[in-house]
Amino acid sequence: MSIHDFIKKVKNNEIDIVEHTQKVIEECKEINTEYNYFNTISEELALQQANNIQKLIKNKDKPLKNKKLLGVVISVKDGICVKDVESTAGSRILQGYKPLFDAFVIQRVKEEGGIIIGKTSQDEFGFGSFSVNIGVGYKVPKNPIDKERSCGGSSGGAAGISKKASFPHISLGESTGGSIAEPASFCDVFGLCPTYGRVSRYGLIDFGNSLDKIGPIGRTIEDVALLMDVIEGYGKNDSTSLNVKNEDYSKYLKKSIKEMKVGIIKEAFAEGVEPEVEKNVYNGIEELEEEGAKAEEISLELPIKYGLATYYMIGTSEASTNLAKYCGMRYGISEKLEGSFNEYFTRVRSKNLGDEAKRRIILGTFARMAGYRDAYYIKAMKVRTLMIQEYKKAFKKFDALVSPTVPILPPKFSEIEKLTPLQNYMMDVMLVGPNVAGLPHLNVPVGYEKNLPVGMLLIADHLQEGKLIQLGSAVEKGK
């Protein structure tokens, strides 16, 4: 049943929403024992919301007719704050933290009748491409198609449950350097990362302030468009939020893509892309052409060549600043006060942060040190500006740019263990460019190879999410 049909039945009182929510909770618990998609299942909150909705439906409350998500369960990446529900960003250092407020996007979801079902598994603070850099004491989420493989990162749990759930459902993910599109590719779902600032970051536990973006992950492009309609908008509590007119994304679902121009990024199909991935992405491009779009190759060297270095300089620098507060005094898990400040902070952070979090804190702190700031961080910010200019030039000619989402098929956990940290970082080579530039991008499932999903990445100019939904809908229709 589509989400549209489900909402219609809820509004007509054809579905007992409390009974439905109870069944959803039981299914989530069962899935979680095998796949580890949730850090927390918010059973009490979900049933409370369901009971409130059921009462209003029985009372024939007229405002309910306008609720966009009425009765739809929404899972939330653990780095997004939900009032009174443990929100840890996947890190033991934040265990026990229950926010006293809802993030902007959670406020919107609740206002539109969505039911919060739980907090999904992720790489600690978003530090990873495979959701294997989980915090101390957490379990690694598994690919919904093959349990021996990664479901991608860092929004791995969000993408995994989006694919595995048998019930109408949409996930809220978050991306800093590709953490929405990459797991969406590995799990055969749609994942939309919006323009930086299009969705308020208020209530998001920071990784990199100039990079973080919240976006929807769903089984269909219609699901993604629906949740984007709900969560977009200006948030007065967020200084990076854009005060621009909201879009109606559903109107792009049936729009023709005739006369739209798509640029195929030549450098994105160079060495390192698996042949099976390349073949399926080109099949996706052919589907766009069959629906009327015009595709043409374009050279876009700067984001591919320098994107990773630029992203990791900016991202680690901002992460080391943001994580400095988790020292066991005002923020983060605390212990008995013994020794000097440095001894106490070291003990708290050493025990409660994972290896990758420590690595990025060290890298970022080094890049920000006196004597190195100009050579690394400031230079990376200058390259970011050049990258944006190169993208802007391309968008004068093209409505969207296309590449593989990830250069490889979902790897086995045994294969990931053999990768060096640098090889891990290389997985984001296609995705760091649009993230550094703050551009909206969408993973579109384009097929299977060796029984594993392949995703195609579509990138648009700032505030042009509608074009991505339009193109994504055309591919979905053509399959």
Q: Which of 75, 91, 150, 154 is catalytic?
A: 154
C-alpha to C-alpha distance for 277 and 405, rounded to whole angstroms: 9
Q: Which of 129, 179, 200, 241 is catalytic?
A: 179
C-alpha to C-alpha distance for 150 and 364, rounded to whole angstroms: 27
Q: Strand pairing partners for 298? A: 265
Q: Which of 42, 68, 75, 77 is catalytic?
A: 77
C-alpha to C-alpha distance for 403 and 407, rounded to whole angstroms: 9
Active site residue 185: no
C-alpha to C-alpha distance for 38 and 33, rounded to whole angstroms: 9
C-alpha to C-alpha distance for 383 and 378, rounded to whole angstroms: 9
Other CB atoms within 10 Å distance of the CB of residue 142: 23
Read off φ and ψ for residue 75, nearest 5 degrees: -95, 150
Structure tokens at 385: 């500006």
Which DSSP helix (H) or strand (E) runs through 326? Answer: none
Structure tokens at 330: 């005002």
3-state secondary structure of 387: helix
The C-alpha angle 141, 229, 474, rounded to 5 degrees, equals 80
Active site residue 77: yes
Contacts of 111 (CB under 8 A, 6+ apart): none
Which DSSP helix (H) or strand (E) runs through 424? Answer: helix 421-425
Structure tokens at 420: 């060096």
Active site residue 179: yes
The strands making up 294-298's β-sheet, listed across from edge to edge, are 38-41, 115-120, 73-77, 169-175, 213-218, 190-193, 441-449, 452-459, 400-404, 261-265, 294-298
Whose CA is closest to 328, among 138, 95, 98, 136? Answer: 95
Active-site positions read 77, 154, 179
